[in-house]
Amino acid sequence: MQTPEQQQQQQQHEPDPPLLRLRGIVKRFGGFTANDHIDLDLRAGEAHGLIGENGAGKSTLVKIIYGLLQPDAGEIFLSAERIRLASPREARARGIGMVFQHFSLFENLTVAENIALALPSAETLHGLRPRILALAERYGLSLDPDRPVWSLSAGERQRIEIARCLLQDPRLVILDEPTSVLTPQEATKLFETLDRLKAEGRALLYISHKLDEVRRLCERATILRLGKKVGDCDPRRESPRSLAALMVGAEVADISPSAPHAQGPDLLVVDDLSLASQDIHGVDLSGISLRLRGGEILGIAGIAGNGQSELFAALSGERLGAGAEKIRIAGAPAGARDITQRRLMGAAFIPEERNGHAAAPAFSLAENVALSRHAAAGFARNGALNFARARQTARDIIGAFDVRASGPDAAARTLSGGNLQKFLVGREILGQPKVLVVDQPTWGVDAAAAGAIRQALVDLAGRGAAVLLISQDLDELFDVCDRVCVMHAGSLSPPRDARETTRAEVGLLMTGSVIEAAHAH
Amino acid sequence: MNAQLFELVLLTIVTASIPLVIAALGELVTERAGVLNLGVEGMMIVGAALGFAGAWASGSTLVGALCGVAAGMILAALFGLLTIVLAVNQVAAGLALTIFGVGLSGLLGAGFVGLKREGAPHLQLPGLSDLPFVGKLVFGEDAFVYAAFLLVALAAYFLARSRAGLALRAIGDNHDSAHALGLSVRGVRFLAVLFGGACAGLAGAYLSLAYTPFWAPGMTAGRGWIALALVVFASWKPWRVVLGALLFGGATVLQLHAQAASLGLPGQLMSATPYLATILGLVVLSLGARRNSAAPAALGQVFVPPR
């Protein structure tokens, strides 16, 4: 670890200027300071990690480097020349390329069209095809130029982003959380590509909150916390634990397992559930069976878009049509019941999308409590809502789950992602459900809130409830689940004991190879 | 039905379809850029009023057509200012534009009601135009017809093949990604809205200069709305717009002939058949290729650049 002072001394002795140098970058959004006097040096051929929690200011900083945002103060030097980047076009012209976290791709255009859009206008689509194929060959990125993007997997989409970036022959490649949607195998392939880029002398700025990846790839790292640079380090010499402590600013608590408890009766049973999707971009569910006992947490791993949302909708009753006997909640057939009826049977559901699905963004927290628990918690009598009770319940949730909000009347959208998610998890858990189905509860949530949410799920199971956890985060699944199964292309693999399976094994299932092999027999 | 009557029917079908083709094509380009402009009817009718006024004052059909185009573009610029620059809701602004346009056209055209001028001149190619059956249909139309088909061909090429067309489609598909790539989302959208306005104005001018040829208040008679519907049912594809417009024009003309032949069906039902036939035909078309629909994903969404 170096303090900023030591670092400054060191810089005064540097012989040649770094490829990219940031000095005192400040970016404010209204009263919120996203970047507060950030310095950064990046050399050619260096892989530099930019790590920090969600909301630490990493994405804002790289958007400034890529010309998408204008800093309020501070200087950017590229090869010792002070530059001002008015647009991404200028950044690309100067050799700065970026691979986005949320893909900046166009669903209805083909691979070649998507790539052409980022290149100088002189390029013709016709001349581009051989170049795409040559590049794909050179970096091991297999791509079909004529496929439309909507038909591609997340890994393929990312290869488009990378190819698009590389065709401009950049000196600096910025990667914003590139592995967040990849399987472990796809991530390994990505790292091989990145190693090749490094060997060619290109600089990489690698943003992640996955510390293992930063340690694997980067020789230097800058750590941001709440918009400020809190230090830099050689990540290879740090442990994931020490890096996490730097990121969070405190020691990270481990999840404590619930006290040993006996597993109860089957509370959620799904029997050979098949359901055709109603959405043209959706996934058909085929032959899903699972059996979840009280006191147990079953995890469903899988890459997004493999039928998880469809399964969630079928379980929650948002999508009917499965047949009464296909889904049983606490022993009773529930397949033909609607959402409210299923809640009355003792089930609770937390959808993936916080704002707009799990909560109405413009409604107050108390109103959001009433929306999901009006029937099961008896807030409504003869059609009239008892708002005093809903507000009291909201207050209880805020207290019990340490939600940072101004009170039960705060609008849901004014809460940060982590706080709103804690509130939503608390809303369902305080109702003491027998069955809880939860989809991606910690996506985009800071580490402290994620830890609290996971602990709440473990505690709920410890009290005898059955928890079904759908997640893309393998660390999370292995942290809290008793058994894990994998969803791929609408099918569910048989569950495995979480202590007896490995990440590699689950990762392989996520690509579908094993499930398909099993189906072939 | 003898051949001469048949040719006459085909000629009137083309005439009835052309305003729809032009107006729908403009709206198609606008929508492909992600902007829903419900003001087509309003821009069209102001184009009809000013087109006739311009032609009457100058004595030239071309000047009249240009006046119609200019009128459509001015209204479209107003719409663009509201929805693209000031980020007003597109549905509300479009409806307001139609109401405004209908009122404005009545005011502007008040002095021209009842006046009649020569229709737009038709092409005369010695020999070719006198060919039996196809002569008038292919070589004897007025300039609007050829302009319409040229516009469709150019727009189809522009959207599918040109770099600028690719950028326009990208912006209509995902304006956030387009912005992240450095494309000028608001600039391109504004130009697309202007093109839509120009086309609607031209379609209106066609009505008052070639179709009837005189000005009457409310003469667009809902054709702007039909054009809007055609765009959707044509799955945002230029040549399908032509097909839909011909279907609609065809049904319009045929039901007129059927009414004249007094088949005994209620006239109101006959008058409704073009609408029903067009919707049915295009629904069948769009069902056939749902996956191929080019529906712009960002259609109707207001873009505010993050700063």
Domain that holds residue A53: 44-70+86-248
- B294: nearest CB among A105, A108, A113: A108
* CB contact residues (below 8 A), chain A span 42-81, against chain B: 67-70
Share of chain A above pLDDT 70, in %: 90
Indicate if A345 and A487 belong to the same structural domain.
yes
Contact A269, A328 (CB under 8 A): yes
What is the spatial distance between Cα B7 and Cα A437, in angstroms, rounded to a whole number? 68
Q: Is residue B245 part of a domain?
A: no
Contact B159, B168 (CB under 8 A): yes
Best probe of the B interface among A60, A106, A147, by most B CBs < 10 A, is A106
Torsional class of A440: left (φ above 0), alpha (ψ -120 to 50), beta (otherwise)? left
Q: How close, in Å, is residue B170 to chain A by CA atoms?
A: 6
What is the spatial distance between Cα A509 and Cα A390, in angstroms, rounded to a whole number? 43
Rg over alpha carbons for chain A, rounded to the nearest Å, is: 25
Helix (H, G, I), strand (E, B) or coil at A46: coil
Q: Is residue A21 part of a domain?
A: no
Average pLDDT over residues A361-383: 85
- B170: nearest CB among A90, A92, A117: A117
Q: Which value, to the nearest 10 degrees, does the dihedral of the CA atoms of residues A245, A208, A448, A469 take?
A: -140
State how far Cα A473 lies from the chain centre: 8
pLDDT in tens, A242-274: 777 777 766 556 677 776 677 889 999 999 999
DSSP element (H, E) containing A448: helix A447-462
Interstrand relation of A73-78 and A347-350 (parallel, antiparallel or unpaired)? unpaired
pLDDT in tens, A446-494: 777 888 899 999 999 999 999 999 998 888 898 899 999 999 889 999 9
State how far Cα B112 lies from the chain centre: 23
Nearest residue in chain B measured CA to CA from A122: B163
Q: What is the 3-state secondary structure (H, E, C) of A190-215?
A: HHHHHHHHHHCCCEEEEEECCHHHHH
Rg over alpha carbons for chain B, rounded to the nearest Å, is: 20
Half-sphere exposure of B228 (CA within 13 A, CB side): 19
DSSP element (H, E) containing A427: helix A417-429
What is the distance in angstroms between the CA of the first residue and the CA of the last residue of chain A?
Answer: 55
Look at the block and give the residue holding tokens 């036939």: B277
Is the ipTM reported for this complex over the cut 0.90? no
Q: Is residue A318 part of a domain?
A: yes
pLDDT recorded at residue A517: 44
What is the spatial distance between Cα B127 and Cα B139, in angstroms, rounded to a whole number? 10
B301 lies within 8 A of chain A by CB: no
pLDDT at A520 over 50: no
Residue closest to B46 by CA, chosen among B204, B188, B152? B204
Q: How close, in Å, is residue A420 to chain B by CA atoms?
A: 23
Average pLDDT over residues B17-25: 96
Interface contact flag, A105 B174, Cβ < 8 Å: yes
Tokens of A90: 């200028």
Q: Give the total residue count for chain B.
A: 307
Q: Is residue A4 part of a domain?
A: no
What is the spatial distance between Cα B87 and Cα B83, in angstroms, rounded to a whole number? 4
- A108: nearest CB among B167, B290, B297: B297
Share of chain A above pLDDT 90, in %: 33
Q: Is residue B283 part of a domain?
A: no
Indicate if A201 and A312 belong to the same structural domain.
no
Reported as a pLDDT band with limits 50, 70 and 90, residue A161 is confident
If one counts every other C-beta atom within 10 angstroms of the C-beta of residue A17, the result is 15
Indicate if A132 and A280 belong to the same structural domain.
no
A108 lies within 8 A of chain B by CB: yes
Tokens of A330: 């606490």
What is the spatial distance between Cα B81 and Cα B190, in angstroms, rounded to a whole number? 8
B290 lies within 8 A of chain A by CB: yes
pLDDT in tens, B44-64: 999 999 999 999 999 999 999
- B174: nearest CB among A69, A90, A106: A106
Indicate if A236 and A275 belong to the same structural domain.
no
Q: Give chain A positions within 8 Å (CB) of B306.
A: 68-69
CATH of residue A448's domain is 3.40.50.300
Nearest residue in chain A measured CA to CA from B164: A121
What is the spatial distance between Cα A132 and Cα B109, in angstroms, rounded to a whole number? 57
pLDDT recorded at residue B253: 86
Tokens of A157: 């989409």
Reported as a pLDDT band with limits 50, 70 and 90, residue B24 is very high
Last residue of a domain, one of A248, A274, A307: A248
Q: Is residue B247 part of a domain?
A: no
Q: Is residue B115 part of a domain?
A: yes
Q: Give chain B positions within 8 Å (CB) of A109.
A: 166, 169-170, 173
B297 lies within 8 A of chain A by CB: yes
Q: What is the 3-state secondary structure (H, E, C) of B208-223?
A: HHHHCCECCCCCCCCH
Q: How far is CA A76 from CA A21, A30, A42, A57, A84, in A?
A: 6, 22, 12, 17, 7
pLDDT at B272 over 80: yes
Interface contact flag, A104 B166, Cβ < 8 Å: no
pLDDT recorded at residue B185: 94
The more confident residue out of A146 and B33 is B33
Interface contact flag, A103 B173, Cβ < 8 Å: no
Domain that holds residue B125: 3-224
The number of domains in chain A is: 2
Average pLDDT over residues A400-426: 86
Interface contact flag, A106 B178, Cβ < 8 Å: yes
A103 lies within 8 A of chain B by CB: yes
DSSP letter, residue A253: P
DSSP letter, residue A26: E
Last residue of a domain, one of A214, A248, A282: A248
Indicate if A152 and A229 belong to the same structural domain.
yes
- B166: nearest CB among A68, A103, A116: A116
Q: Is A355 exposed, middle or buried (0-12, 13-18, 19+ CB in 10 A)?
A: middle
Whole-number average pLDDT of chain A: 84
pLDDT recorded at residue B127: 75
Q: How close, in Å, is residue B299 to chain A by CA atoms?
A: 13
pLDDT at B25 over 90: yes
pLDDT at B75 over 50: yes
Indicate if A356 and A475 belong to the same structural domain.
yes
The number of domains in chain B is: 1
Interface contact flag, B291 A280, Cβ < 8 Å: yes
Whole-number average pLDDT of chain B: 89
pLDDT recorded at residue B290: 54
Q: Is residue B195 part of a domain?
A: yes
Q: Is residue B142 part of a domain?
A: yes
Reported as a pLDDT band with limits 50, 70 and 90, residue B77 is very high
Residue closest to A37 by CA, chosen among A50, A26, A51? A26
Greatest mean pLDDT among A151-160, A359-368, A382-391: A359-368
- B173: nearest CB among A68, A70, A108: A108
Torsional class of B266: left (φ above 0), alpha (ψ -120 to 50), beta (otherwise)? beta
Non-local CB neighbours of A484 within 8 Å, separated by 6+ positions: A298, A299, A300, A301, A477, A478, A495, A496, A498, A501, A506
What is the spatial distance between Cα B46 and Cα B218, in angstroms, rounded to a whole number? 10
Q: How close, in Å, is residue A121 to chain B by CA atoms?
A: 7
Nearest residue in chain A measured CA to CA from B173: A106
Indicate if A149 and A244 belong to the same structural domain.
yes
Indicate if A486 and A357 belong to the same structural domain.
yes
DSSP letter, residue A106: -
pLDDT at A110 over 70: yes
What is the spatial distance between Cα A308 and Cα A314, in angstroms, rounded to a whole number? 10
Q: Is residue A3 part of a domain?
A: no
Indicate if A225 and A329 belong to the same structural domain.
no
pLDDT in tens, B150-162: 999 999 999 988 8
Interface contact flag, A87 B307, Cβ < 8 Å: no
| Most distant CA atoms of chain A, gap in Å | 79
pLDDT recorded at residue A328: 93
pLDDT recorded at residue A314: 93
Interface contact flag, B177 A106, Cβ < 8 Å: yes
Interface contact flag, A88 B180, Cβ < 8 Å: yes
The more confident residue out of B100 and B177 is B100
Interface contact flag, B180 A104, Cβ < 8 Å: yes
A515 lies within 8 A of chain B by CB: no
Interface contact flag, A109 B166, Cβ < 8 Å: yes
Q: Is residue A9 part of a domain?
A: no
Interstrand relation of A327-329 and A266-275 (parallel, antiparallel or unpaired)? antiparallel
Q: Is residue A36 part of a domain?
A: no
Q: What is the 3-state secondary structure (H, E, C) of chain B?
A: CCHHHHHHHHHHHHHHHHHHHHHHHHHHHHHHCCCCCCCHHHHHHHHHHHHHHHHHHHCCHHHHHHHHHHHHHHHHHHHHHHHHHCCCCHHHHHHHHHHHHHHHHHHHCHHHCCCECCCCCECCCCCHHHCCCHHHHHHCCEHHHHHHHHHHHHHHHHHHHCHHHHHHHHHHHCHHHHHHCCCCHHHHHHHHHHHHHHHHHHHHHHHHHHHCCECCCCCCCCHHHHHHHHHHHCCCCHHHHHHHHHHHHHHHHHHHHHHHCCCCCCHHHHHHHHHHHHHHHHHHHHHHCHHHCCCCCCCCCCCCCCC
Interface contact flag, B182 A103, Cβ < 8 Å: no
Q: Give chain B positions within 8 Å (CB) of A89.
A: 182
Q: Is residue B248 part of a domain?
A: no
Q: A243-267: b or e for each residue (b if 16 or more CB lie within 10 Å)?
A: bbebbbeeeeeebeebeeeeeeeeb
- A109: nearest CB among B163, B173, B290: B173
Q: Is residue B243 part of a domain?
A: no
pLDDT recorded at residue A130: 87
Best probe of the A interface among B173, B181, B292, by most A CBs < 10 A, is B181
Interface contact flag, B163 A116, Cβ < 8 Å: yes
What is the spatial distance between Cα A21 and Cα A10, in angstroms, rounded to a whole number? 14
Contact A283, A305 (CB under 8 A): yes
B306 lies within 8 A of chain A by CB: yes
pLDDT in tens, A210-238: 777 888 889 999 988 888 898 888 988 88
Interface contact flag, A106 B176, Cβ < 8 Å: no
Q: Is residue A39 part of a domain?
A: no
Tokens of B286: 């769009």
Q: A305-319: b or e for each residue (b if 16 or more CB lie within 10 Å)?
A: ebbbbbbbbbbbbeb
Q: Is residue A257 part of a domain?
A: no
Contact A289, A270 (CB under 8 A): yes
Q: Give the total residue count for chain A.
A: 521
DSSP element (H, E) containing A165: helix A154-166
* CB contact residues (below 8 A), chain B span 179-238, against chain A: 179-183
Q: How close, in Å, is residue B238 to chain A by CA atoms?
A: 17
Nearest residue in chain B measured CA to CA from A105: B177
Indicate if A329 and A434 belong to the same structural domain.
yes
Reported as a pLDDT band with limits 50, 70 and 90, residue A280 is low
Greatest mean pLDDT among A316-320, A384-388, A517-521: A316-320
pLDDT recorded at residue A519: 47
Contact A452, A401 (CB under 8 A): yes
Interface contact flag, B173 A107, Cβ < 8 Å: yes
B166 lies within 8 A of chain A by CB: yes
Reported as a pLDDT band with limits 50, 70 and 90, residue A378 is confident
pLDDT recorded at residue A251: 57
